Structure 1
Amino acid sequence: MWQQLLKHREALLAGVIVLLVLAIGSRVPSFISPVSLVEIFNDTAILLILALGQMMVLLTKGIDLSMAANLALTGMIVALLNFHYPQVPVWMLLCLSSALGLVLGMINGLLVWMLGLPAIVVTLGTMSIYRGCIFLLSGGGWVNANQMSADFLGLPRAVLLGLPVLSWCAIATVLLVGYFLRYSRTGRALYTAGGNPTAAYYTGIDAGKMQFVSFCLSGALAGFCGYLWISRFAVAYVDVANGFELQVVAACVIGGISTMGGIGRVSGCLFGALFLGVINNALPVIGVSPFWQMAISGTVIVIAVLLNERGNRRKGRLILRNAALARQKQAVKS
């Protein structure tokens, strides 16, 4: 029973999301209007992008708890640049925030790869460092909407084919990460590095290097979201997205991404983020207390972890397994 349930996890999660939306819509009809559904997806866009970055780290048996701090630091930097130099094009600030995020991710990756430090310890440390850097840059001050240019604020809100640009950014990220993990050699190596380090060794894959690559990618996506977050909410300060990394990890866990590495799909990550997005938007609509919202979200996460533990009993995804076995047999014969 459990195996059948886990086998169709994404379809089950999608069904739960649909039923939840319909149930809320039966009480509040405006909740299921096209405008409302678009807004819910738009509210979930940043969570989804960050969850995809976190997923790649989790696939290699790592975890990145500094993503929200990375987002806040890169967002503050581009907000200050826009305030002092409003003539700088927005696309250049967007590229800069992604590049800065990549550098911050590289710091995490190098500490984990080259020094062999636990990822959770490294990213807890860099999370505090990045938050401290925000305070040093801003002096504890805020950058508000009236200090940002119209172009800086307008890009994520611009509507293209009925959807805001922010939503299109999330859709594009889903497609790119999905293609990368499924069809690229490096993407498949991320699964192998976390799912079966022995197979990775025999096929010439450096598990530590793959962790480094995953931290770089997650950092770049966090930096990309740095601009998107600040522009969407029109404010930059020290505690931006404080604690949001827990929501990101929760979206991955709910979507079936194993914290033990090597197991997970982009579709699961997508539905995990959408589930939290619907929950976060639905509960206030029906008047549920914020404390109950936290309790409900926590209960869902615990259930998801239990399901994941059941799933971890089966074998993870083994890429190039036949090649590894062939090399082992050849070594025995020689």
Structure 2
Amino acid sequence: MTPAALAKPGKSLLRTRELGIVLALALLIIYTTANNHRFLSGQSIRDNLLNTAILAVMAAGEAVVVITRNIDLSVGSVLGVSAWATATMVSDHQGLPMIVPIAVGLLVGALCGLINGILVRYGRVPALVVTLGTLYMYRGITYSWAGGRQVNADKLPQHFLGFANASVLGVPWLVLIAVVVVGGISVLMRNYRAGRELYAMGSSPQAAELAGIKVARNLLGAFILSGALAGLAGVLFAARFGTVDASAGTSYELNVVAAVVVGGVAVFGGSGTVWGAGLGALLLTVIGSALAVLEINQFWQQAIVGFLIILAICADRLVAVRIARSLRRRDAHV
């Protein structure tokens, strides 16, 4: 039996899960629209896409880290420090072109990601512990820097605020950025050696090292990418909402991890797609919007997300069991 054949059960179930997300989205939209036709209004669709864009950008970076059998819980705090850094910068220097805050946000996020990666790889500390610590550390830095202050929309330049509402052929810039990020990283993970090495690391870190894969470099790259995209999300957050304080991005990491897991990226590493994480982000956003339209208590959103996470983990275990059975059958025929 070939390696491709062994991977077939897992890939088949993964495609089924992504199709399941699409079907769940369709059913949710149909049911909500039947109860309130305004759910499919142009403004409602636009709001859902704009809110999904920020979450999807973060989920793309998180998915890469989770594929390597790690996790980054600091992304919400990285968004916060990036949003505050860029908002204060453009409020003090009104003439800066949009490319400058975007570059600064990416740089701030990449630096935070580098710190995470160094601590995980060279400190030999589990990523869960490291990024839980940096979650509080980065948030503390933001609170100290802000000192109780707040940047309001009237202090930000119009071209910065207008970026969130600007569009190309009717598609908002934020949505285009999210599609480019998710699509670009998906292509990288599927078609290039760097992506295949990250999957190999997640499947078996020890085997990856024995195979000559530069685990340290790739791990640092994964965390830097996750941090940089969280930093980019911070810029998009500031442009989208206009008002920024030290609490920006609080608890976002929970939604990001949920989007990744619900989207089919295995928490045990080595499988899943970035596109799936993007679909997970869209599903979670639409669930929140639908519950509000249906006037259902927002508590149920948390309960539903929790149920979806448990369901996704059970599916991961099903994949693992099916692959293990395939391996045993192959060995029996050798």
TM-score (norm 2): 0.90
> Which residue among 295, 310, 327 is the counterpart of 2:303?
295
Tell me the equivalent position of 2:210: 202
2:269 equivalent to 1:261 = yes
Is the CA contact 1:62–1:211 (under 8 Å) kept in the aligned structure 2? no
Partner of 1:152: 160
- 2:147 is matched with which residue: 139, 160, 175? 139
Contact 2:264–2:277 (8 Å) recurs in 1: yes
Residue 14 of structure 1 corresponds to 22
SS in 2 for 1:12: helix
Instruction: Return closer, same or farther for 1:132/1:31 CA change in 2, 3 Å cut-off.
Output: same
For residue 34 of structure 1, report the CA deviation from its aligned partner: 4.4
Does the 8 A contact of 1:22 with 1:32 survive in 2?
A: no
Report the alpha carbon displacement of residue 209 of structure 1 after superposing the two structures with TM: 2.9
Is residue 110–residue 225 contact of structure 2 (8 Å, CA) maintained in 1? yes
Q: Could you give the per-residue CA deviations for residues 263-288 of structure 1, whole angstroms, max 9, x where no partner exists? A: 10123112211110110110000000
Partner of 1:241: 249
1:7 Cα offset (Å): 4.9
1:63 is matched with 71
Cα RMSD (Å) = 1.8
Measured in 1, the distance between the counterparts of 2:61 and 2:288 equals: 21
C-alpha displacement of 1:140? 1.7
Structure 2 CA distance for partners of 1:314 and 1:54, relative to 1, 3 Å: farther
Q: Letter of the aligned partner of 1:54 in structure 2?
A: E
Contact kept in structure 1, 2:151 and 2:243, CA below 8 Å:
yes
**SS of aligned partner of 2:272:** coil
What amino acid maps onto 2:237 in structure 1? Answer: W
The offset of 1:2, in angstroms, is 10
Tell me if structure 2 keeps the 8 A contact 1:145–1:234.
yes
Any conservation in 1 of the 2:69–2:202 contact (CA below 8 Å)?
yes
**Which of 57, 79, 88 matches 1:80?**
88
1:158-199 CA deviation, whole Å, 9 max, x = no partner? 011111111111111111111111122111111001112243
Q: State the shift of 1:6 in Å.
A: 4.9
Alignment partners' CA distance in 1, 2:280 and 2:320: 18
Distance (Å, rounded) in 2 between the aligned partners of 1:198 and 1:314: 22
The CA deviation at 1:206 is 2.9
Q: Distance in 1 between matches of 2:224 and 2:11?
A: 34
Q: Is the 8 A contact 2:78 2:230 kept in 1?
A: yes
Distance between the aligned counterparts of 2:14 and 2:272, measured in 1?
Answer: 11
Match of 2:219 in 1: 211
Q: Identity, % of aligned pairs? A: 36
**d(CA) in 1 for partners of 2:70, 2:222:** 9
1:312 Cα deviation after fit: 2.8
Amino acid at match of 2:321: R
Q: Which runs of 4+ in 1 moved over 3 A?
A: 1-7
Instruction: Give the partner amino acid of 1:136.
Output: S
2:64–2:274: 8 Å Cα contact kept in structure 1? no
Give the Cα–Cα distance (whole angstroms) in 2 for the partners of residues 249 and 265 of structure 1. 14
Q: How does 1:23-42 map to 2 (within 5 A)?
A: 23-42=31-50
Amino acid in the other structure paired with 2:146: S
| Aligned counterpart in structure 1 of residue 318 of structure 2, from 301, 310, 321 | 310
- Partner deviation per Cα, 1:260-314 (whole Å, 9 max, x = no partner): 1111012311221111011011000000012222222222222222222222334
Among residues 217, 231, 241, which one is paired with 2:239 in the alignment? 231
Gaps of 5+ in 2: 1-8, 325-334
Aligned residues: 316
TM-score, with structure 1 as normaliser? 0.90
Return 5+ residue gaps in structure 1 as ranges. Answer: 317-334
2:111 equivalent to 1:107: no
Structure 2 counterpart of 1:109, one-letter code: G
Corresponding position of 1:98: 106
Q: Residue 49 of structure 1 aligns to which amino acid in structure 2?
A: V
Amino acid at match of 2:151: V
Per the alignment, residue 127 of structure 1 pairs with 135
The question of 1:252 aligning with 2:257 is answered: no
